[in-house]
Structure 1
Amino acid sequence: MTLSIVTPLIESLTLGSKNDVNVWLKMEAMQPSGSFKIRGVGYACEHHATKGAKRFISSSGGNAGLAVAYAGRKLSIPVVVVVPNTTSERAKYLLGLEGASVVTHGRSWVEANQYALSICTEHDAFIHPFDDPLLWHGHAAMIDEVVASGMTPDAVLLSVGGGGLLAGVDEGLYRNGLTETPIFVAETEGTASYKSALQKGTLVELDEILGIATTLGAKKVCERALELSNERKVIPFTVSDEEAVSACRAFLNDHRTLVEPACGATLALLYGKKIDLKPYKNILVIVCGGSTVTVESLQSL
C-alpha cells in the first residue's frame, strides 16, 4: 500500500510572468492528509507496520500528526497523538475524525514530544515529525515524480521548519543526479532557526517561536539540514508574517488552492520578487500545503 498520491505538477503563468522564469508548482497541498508530510510519514508507518508495530505515537497537532492519524486509519493501526495545549480545536477535531486518540500535554511541542516518547512501549512505533531518515526517503519521491514528468528543475524553492522537507528534497535531487541544483529556503522572521544555524555554522535553538507560521516553529532544525548545506548550495531567506499571509491570499486567487502561512513563506519569495532568478530557466516550488488552515483562519490573520 502507498499512502501518498502522485500530486500534480502545474505551471504557474502568474508567478512565472512576475519573475520572468518558468515556475512549476508541485502541489503537495493536494495530498490526502493535506500536506507533503504523508509522503515521509506514510513511508515510515508502512515500514514499522511490516516490523509488527501495534500502535503509532506522534507528537504533532499539525501536519505530521494528521499524516500519522491518516496512515494509522488506512493501515488499521491505532494512533495516539500528543499535542501541546496551544493546539487548535480544529486540529484536535481533525485528528479525532481520522480516529486518533488525542492527548493534550505541556505548553510546547518539546514538552508534548517528551511525553509522547515516555509512553512508547516496545510494541509502539514513534513517528517523529521531521528528524528521521525514513521520512526523508519518503519525501524524496516528490522529486522522482517531477523528473519522471520530464521537467528538470534548475532550482527548488521550499519552506523550512524542522528540516525534514529540505532533507527529503535533497535526497530526491541527489538520487536523480541533480547534485548541483540549488535550494532556496524560506522561513518567517519569527521562526528562522535554520538561517541562524547557517550563519553560525552550528545548530541554533531559538529562545521562542514568534508569529503565525506555527508549523515552521521548530526551535532547532535537524542536524541533517545543517549537514547538507555543506554538500549543496542552500540559500536562506526570511519573510514577514504579513508577506506570508498575503502570498497565501494571492495564491488562493491565482490557483484556487488554500495553503497555510508556513507554505506562504515560500510563495512570498516569488510574489515579492525577492530572488534574482535570471540564471535559471525552470524553478520548482514545493507547495507543501497546510492540514488545518481555513479561509476564516487566513482572513483573521
Structure 2
Amino acid sequence: MESMLGVENKRPFHVVTPVLQSMALSQAAGTKVYMKLENVQPSGSFKIRGIGYFCQQVARDGCQHLVCSSGGNAGLAAAYVAHKLGIPITVVVPRSTSQLTVKRLEEQSAEVEVFGQAWDEANERAMALAEADGWINVHPFDHPLVWKGHATLVQELRDSLDAKPGAIVLAVGGGGLLSGVVSGLQEVGWLDVPIVAVETRGADSFNQAIKAGHLVTLPEITSVAKCLGAKTVAQRALDCAREWPIISWVLDDVEAVKAIERFLDDERMLVEAACGAPLAFLYSGYFRQLQEEGHLSRPLDSVVLVVCGGTGIKMEILQAMKSQLGMV
C-alpha cells in the first residue's frame, strides 16, 4: 500500500493534453479554433482532472472507501483513480446508464449499484451510503477540490498558446468544468476571456437558472446528451455567471448529434453527445451570430474549444441516437 499511496499520491492522474488547431472548425467559426483534447485523458474525459485531485487529497487523509454517483465519465474517472490508489469504490449509476459504461466501471474493479431513474436519485443514494458507512462521497461536479483540479486545464492552455484566446467554448452539465475553467482563468490572469457555455435542450438546467436568477430543477432530463443530465447545476456555476462574462447557449439534440458525425469525419475522433453540443455551436454558425449581434468581439484572434470527450459512445450508440431523433 505504501508503494500505491506513496507514488500515486505525488503525481496527478491526468495527462497534459494536446492543443491542436482544427482547420474545419476554424473555417466554420471564421477564426482560428484550437481544440483542447480532453478526450485523450486516461479515463476518457476531463473529469479525471478534478476527481483525481479530490481523491488524492482524501487518500492522504486516510480514506478507506470511496463512493461516487455517476451515469458515466465522473464514475469512470473515480474508478480509475481508486484502482490506482488501491482504495475500494462503489459507483452508483442511474438506470439510464449504458451497459458499456457499467462494463468499463467493473473493469476498473468498481462495485456498481444501479439506483434511480436519473443522476440526482443516484446521488442521493451515494450520499446515504457515505453517511451510513463512513465512506467519502466523490461529488461529480460540486466541490472546491474538483474545481481546483479542473483549473489545471487553463494552466496548460497558458503554457501551450502564444497568446490568450478570444473566447473559450465548452459544454456545461452540472457546472464543474465551467467552475474550474473560471478558477483557472482567474489564476493565470486572463480576466477578460469570455466563456460560451453550451447545453442541449432538455438538459439545460444552467440556462434555466440564469434566466430565473436562481437554481432551477428540471422535472426530467429529456436530451440524448445524458452526460449533461444534472437536473440542477451547482450553485457555484450560477455564481460564476454573475462574476464572469459567460454566454449561455442552448441548441437541439439533432444539432449535437450531427456535430458528432462531422467531427468524426473532420478529426477522426468519436465523442459523446455532451461534447457534440459545443462542437455544434461552432459548426452551426452560432459563434458568428454572437459576433454579429455584438455579444462577442470581432475579429477574435483565436477560440479554444474544450473537447470534453466521453467514453459512453460507440457507433452502435450513435446510430441509436440518430434513430431516436428520427435522423435515419
User: Which string of whole-angstrom CA distances, capped at 9 and with x for unpartnered residues, describes residues 104-142 of structure 1?
Assistant: 122222221111111115752210011001110000101
Q: Secondary structure of the equivalent of 2:286? A: coil
Could you tell me how far apart the structure 1 residues matched to 2:223 and 2:160 are?
A: 37
Match of 1:223 in 2: 235
Does residue 1:14 correspond to 2:24, yes or no?
yes
> What's the counterpart of residue 64 of structure 2?
54
Shift of 1:271: 0.6
Equivalent in the alignment of 2:8 = none
Which residue is 2:276 aligned to? 264
Deviation per CA, 1:62-99: give whole Å up to 9, x if none: 10000000000111111100112222111110100111
For 1:111 and 1:234, the matched residues in 2 are separated by 29
8 Å contact 2:195–2:246 — kept in the other structure? yes
1-structure distance, mates of 2:62, 2:161: 38
For residues 150 and 180 of structure 2, what CA distance do their matches in structure 1 show?
5
Q: Secondary structure at the match of 1:77?
A: coil
Amino acid aligned to 1:145: E
Separation in 2 of the partners of 1:162 and 1:263? 14
Shift of 1:300: 2.2
Deviations 1:231-254 (A, max 9, x none): 111101111111000001111111
- What does 1:1-301 align with in structure 2 at a 5 Å threshold? 1-120=11-130, 123-151=134-162, 152-276=164-288, 277=291, 278-301=298-321
RMSD, aligned CA: 1.1
- SS at 2:232's partner residue? coil
CA displacement at 1:50 relative to structure 2: 0.4
Shift of 1:150: 3.0
Code of the residue aligned with 2:68 in structure 1: it is: S
Q: Distance in 1 between matches of 2:102 and 2:222?
A: 22
The ranges of structure 1 where at least 4 consecutive aligned residues each deviate by more than 2 angstroms after the TM superposition are 121-124, 276-279
Identity within the alignment, % = 44
Query: Equivalent residue of 1:186, what SS?
Result: strand
Q: 2:47 corresponds to which letter in structure 1?
A: K
Contact 1:198 1:226 in 2 (8 A): yes
Report the Cα distance in structure 1 between the residues aligned to 2:119 and 2:161, rounded to whole angstroms: 40
- The answer (yes or no) to whether the contact 1:191–1:217 under 8 Å persists in 2 is yes
Contact 1:61 1:81 in 2 (8 A): no
Q: Which moved more, 1:103-112 or 1:8-17?
A: 103-112
Amino acid at match of 1:17: Q
Task: Give the distance between the partners of 2:155 and 2:118, measured in 1 at CA.
Answer: 35
For the structure 1 residues 140 and 110, does the alpha-carbon distance in structure 2 shift closer, same or farther, using more than 3 Å as the test?
Answer: same
Gaps of 5+ in 1: none
Name the CA distance, whole Å, in 1 between partners of 2:116 and 2:29. 44
Structure-2 separation of matches of 1:196 and 1:238: 10
Which digits, 9 at most, give the CA deviation of each residue in 1:31-84, with x for residues without a partner? 010100000000000011000001110011310000000000111111100112
For residues 54 and 197 of structure 1, what CA distance do their matches in structure 2 show?
37
User: Residue 71 of structure 2 contacts residue 93 of structure 2 at CA under 8 Å; is this kept in 1?
Assistant: yes
- Structure 2 residues not aligned, in runs of 5+: 1-10, 292-297, 322-328
One-letter amino acid matched to 1:23: V
Number of matched residues?
301
Normalising by the residue count of structure 2, what TM-score does the alignment of the two structures yield? Answer: 0.89
CA contact (8 A) 1:53 1:123 kept: no
